[in-house]
Amino acid sequence: MRKQIAAANWKMNLTIAQGEALLDGIIAKPHHLKPEQLVVFAVPFPYLAMAQQKIAGKQNVFIAAQNCYSKKSGAYTGEVSVEMLQSLGIKWVVLGHSERREYFAESNQFLAEKINIALEFDIQPIFCCGEPLSIREAGTQNEFVTKQLEESLYHLSADQLKKVVIAYEPIWAIGTGKTATSEQAQEMHAHIRAELAKKYGKEVADEITILYGGSVKAANAKEIFGQPDVDGGLVGGASLIIDEFVAIIEGLK
Ligand code: PGA
């Protein structure tokens, strides 16, 4: 059975004291996670060690970095390596978020390098893909997302791909309050799974967790996560509010 994940993306928000209070508040609530359900908090780099300590001993709860660099180590001032993440015990990293692609010019090719180094260090990537509004309006979103998968993931072996979680995040739905309808999410998730099946076979494609991201909140999580090919969500704004995120976790199938 493939994993379902409620992933929080704090982005560049919160002081460390606010982050601690948020984690404490969420962890203190009762959760009813099934064995295949995970909760992941993608926190800013300076909070990774604090967050890792807070979740110590918690079943099915993990901390993720929001990014990493493509090189092992060296003269890359200001960057963070996967080896550093590994040394903190971090098991997950978000790669290719649309904000990284847009503001920091991260290309599909560059992301392929980051995927490789993350896997080399046993850190599971949450690989983000998704189209801008102009592409959605032109009706070419499927081709757009296929190209992102091809250029960043298709060099992987099936065993490597199985360690990758895909997050479909239509850019027009991120932080805008404009959620894709559950039908739109399902349609794209089914497309992604069908493309993966073409390349890697149905059995492998069926094992890949595909998250939806873009204005997920307590009020819509259950319906979106209820779609057959939607295996949870990557959540920005609503992950900063204790009760919202707890309800989103409870919205997993
Ligand atoms: P949002 O962000 O939930 O605030 O739309 C989602 C994301 O960017 O991962």
DSSP letter, residue 156: S
CA distance 127 to 169: 10
What secondary structure letter does DSSP report for 215?
A: S
Q: Which domains does the chain have, with CATH numbers?
A: 4-250 (3.20.20.70)
- Rounded distance from Cα 206 to ligand 1 centre (Å): 25
Task: For residues 107 and 146, give the distance between their C-alpha atoms in angstroms, rounded to a whole number.
Answer: 14
pLDDT score recorded for residue 180: 87
> Residue whose CA is closest, atom 7 of ligand 1?
236
pLDDT band at 175 (very low <50, low <70, confident <90, very high): confident
Residue for token pair 């099936």: 158
CA distance 43 to 12: 8
For residues 217 and 178, is the Cβ–Cβ distance under 8 A?
Answer: no
Nearest residue to 68 via CA among 26, 25, 116: 116
pLDDT of residue 135: 96
For residue 30, pLDDT over 80 is answered with no
**pLDDT class of 1 with cuts at 50, 70, 90:** confident
> Over the stretch 139-173, which tens digit does the pLDDT of each residue have?
999 999 999 999 999 999 999 999 999 999 999 99
Which residue is catalytic, options 99, 131, 169, 244? 169
Task: Give the pLDDT band of residue 106 (cuts 50, 70, 90).
Answer: very high
Tell whether the model's pLDDT for residue 176 goes beyond 90. no
pLDDT above 90 for 31: no
The answer to whether the beta carbons of residues 57 and 25 sit under 8 Å apart is no
Q: Looking at residue 166, what DSSP letter applies?
A: E
- Residue 177 pLDDT > 90, yes or no? no
